[in-house]
A and B are shown apart, each in its own frame.
Chain A
Amino acid sequence: MIKNFKAEIISNKEINQGIFNLIFKAPELAAATVPGQFLEIMCGTDGAGNGPFLRRPFGVYNTDIKKGTAEILFKVLGQGTKNLSARKAGEILDIVGPLGNGFKIVEANHPVIAGGGMGVAPLLLLVKVLRDKKQKPIIFLGAKNKDELAAVEKFEKYGKVILTTDDGSAGEKCFLNIPLEKYLEENKNSVIYCCGPHAMLKCLAELGKKYKVPVQVSLEEKMACGLGVCRGCPVEVKNKDEKYKMVCKDGPVFPAEDVVW
């Protein structure tokens, strides 16, 4: 059930340079969210009245049903995230969610998780759920450099983590598709769940085809309503009745083979 609700901020910490982990009280949301769903959050204004007009979408990064909390992970990129980074414990957030369709969990002993840059955000909740289902995910995390590899230690709790960076400051110096392809060569009957830059997702979609492994991609697009009403966030799809699906309502997770890359 989608709701528009107010949530008290419990903490908002900069965990890496420019990357924030915001935790807020939201018991209903924590209980209702499935991995891969997202929220539309009002980012507010700064002291000079600058702020985005529209809400901003954020993947749900983590939930704690017992504590009744939910979390987002974000990097300061524009005015919206800048304003959000300045919000403090005790302040109130205006949130719409949970939105969209998350990952469809399929049977696999060793599901592959791939997160590029801030694309790691919606994947933590996924690996937690996979572990609850006794699956043993293998997790590939890639970023430009060490500072942009966020939350590695959290992922390590739930499975084997393989790191790559563009500059070699952590893990192997390459894109994450290199070790991921090696893994696919040796392990059949897998599934890939991924989120990250478009080029990375496209590459993983091709790997999925090559090794006959289903790939679920979590996509991003500029968004207004988040509800499927404005028709503002299309992704071009193939073999469907319509040319476009909406990232917000039909996604954000899509089977890679449906997407026109």
Chain B
Amino acid sequence: MVKIKIAGLVFKNPVMSASGTFGSGAEFAEFFDLSLMGAVVCKTVTLNPRAGNKPPRVADVSAGMLNSIGLENKGVEYFINTALPFLRKFDTKVVASAAGNNVDEYIETVKLLAAQPEVHAIEVNMSCPNVTHGVNRGLFSQNPDAVKEIMSAVRKETKKPLFAKVSPQVADITVIASAARDAGADALSLINTIPAMGVDLKTRRPLLGNVTGGLSGPAVKPVALKLVWDVFKTVKIPLIAMGGIMNATDALEFILCGATAVQVGTANFVNPQACAEIAAGIEKYFEEHKLQSIEDLRGKLKV
């Protein structure tokens, strides 16, 4: 088994679900045993319930999709009461995902999550493109000072591993990565969806009810690979990579560019067995190439 370790926490393999594409796993447990995954990264929760955006919330585009869900969720309390008892049944790691409208909400949500024994690690989502934090203020993770403020605040609340999930749409991703690391993040999860939109010429309307949203799927993979590579070269922090991973080959490419773990997102919508198949495919590749550990492949891109 291709075990990995992040901040002392051992994951049985490098495959995790990407937040927001997997719920808390219940729907996918009908298709495969969640214990085959390195971790289930749950859908982002916020302190209070959020209704989400008006429809249409999804659109099909070339080699991918757009979404503007708007962080719909029933709040952290509901998550603790329903998702966590369900996930206890599986031999996998549970990563909760938290977001907020301000630093205080991040602190409160992380505090509540960290207190749950079922939660092994927390991903701090600072990069949902469908949530605005005030006019012209952009996403939290587009501003290194905001990243520093949020990450150092939540760091004080827990010793459990913290992943900082960041947006790809920044001038220099290494500045954001350094800010997260300096503020105590144990790993960087990248990339969130790329801010994007689509239009219908026939109706002259946007494809999404929210007008703009985030692009995901195979279309974003080359962008994500480059950002992972950029950070790997310059900032020493474990990378949890995602962006258009549809199969084990895609996942291995990210490991080759420096990722310690990968997250499978949009692929779950097309192939409900994707996470299990990718975990098996990585295992097979490591056996075939006689690789002993993740370090035998991680960042070994020949340039």
Binding site for B on A (CB under 8 A): 1-4, 42, 52-55, 80, 96, 221-236, 242-244
B270 lies within 8 A of A54 (CB): yes
CB distance from B14 to the nearest CB of A (A): 22
Contacts of A229 in B (CB 8 A): 21-23, 27-28, 268-269
Q: Is B72 an interface residue (CB 8 A)?
A: yes
Partner of B272, one of A52, A227, A232: A227
Known: A4-B272, A233-B58, A244-B72. A227 touches B51 (CB 8 A): no
B72 lies within 8 A of A231 (CB): yes
CB distance from B43 to the nearest CB of A (A): 8
Q: Is B191 an interface residue (CB 8 A)?
A: no
The distance in angstroms between the C-alpha atoms of A228 and B29, with both chains bound, is: 13
Other A-B contacts than A224-B65, A232-B57, A234-B54, 14 sampled, CB-CB below 8 A, are A53-B62, A54-B65, A224-B67, A227-B27, A227-B28, A229-B21, A229-B28, A229-B269, A230-B21, A231-B72, A232-B58, A233-B58, A234-B57, A235-B55
The distance in angstroms between the C-alpha atoms of A52 and B65, with both chains bound, is: 9
Q: Is B7 an interface residue (CB 8 A)?
A: no
Identity of the chain B residue whose Cβ is nearest the Cβ of A42 in the assembled complex: B270
The distance in angstroms between the C-alpha atoms of A229 and B63, with both chains bound, is: 21
B69 lies within 8 A of A232 (CB): yes
Identity of the chain A residue whose Cβ is nearest the Cβ of B72 in the assembled complex: A231
CB distance from B38 to the nearest CB of A (A): 19
Return 9 A-B CB contacts under 8 Å, by A number: A222-B59, A225-B269, A229-B23, A229-B28, A231-B52, A232-B57, A232-B67, A234-B54, A235-B55
Q: Mostly helix, strand, loop or mixed at chain B's interface?
A: loop
Identity of the chain A residue whose Cβ is nearest the Cβ of B59 in the assembled complex: A222
CB distance from B46 to the nearest CB of A (A): 13
Partner of B58, one of A4, A223, A235: A223
Q: Is B288 an interface residue (CB 8 A)?
A: no
Q: Mark B275-296, 1 if CB is under 8 A from A, else 0.
A: 0000000000000000000000
Q: Select the residue from B28, B74, B272 with max chain A CB neighbours within 10 A.
A: B272
The 7 A-B pairs of least Cβ separation, nearest first, read A232-B58, A243-B51, A225-B269, A222-B56, A227-B27, A229-B23, A224-B58
A230 lies within 8 A of B69 (CB): yes
Q: Mark B7-50, 1 if CB is under 8 A from A, else 0.
A: 00000000000001111000110110000000000010000010
Q: Select the residue from B51, B58, B64 with max chain A CB neighbours within 10 A.
A: B58
Identity of the chain A residue whose Cβ is nearest the Cβ of B271 in the assembled complex: A4
A234 lies within 8 A of B55 (CB): yes
The distance in angstroms between the C-alpha atoms of A235 and B72, with both chains bound, is: 13
Identity of the chain B residue whose Cβ is nearest the Cβ of A225 in the assembled complex: B269
The distance in angstroms between the C-alpha atoms of A41 and B21, with both chains bound, is: 19
Identity of the chain B residue whose Cβ is nearest the Cβ of A80 in the assembled complex: B60
B52 lies within 8 A of A244 (CB): yes
Contacts of B60 in A (CB 8 A): 52-54, 80
Partner of A53, one of B30, B51, B63: B63
B269 lies within 8 A of A231 (CB): no
Known: A53-B60, A53-B64, A53-B270. A231 touches B55 (CB 8 A): no
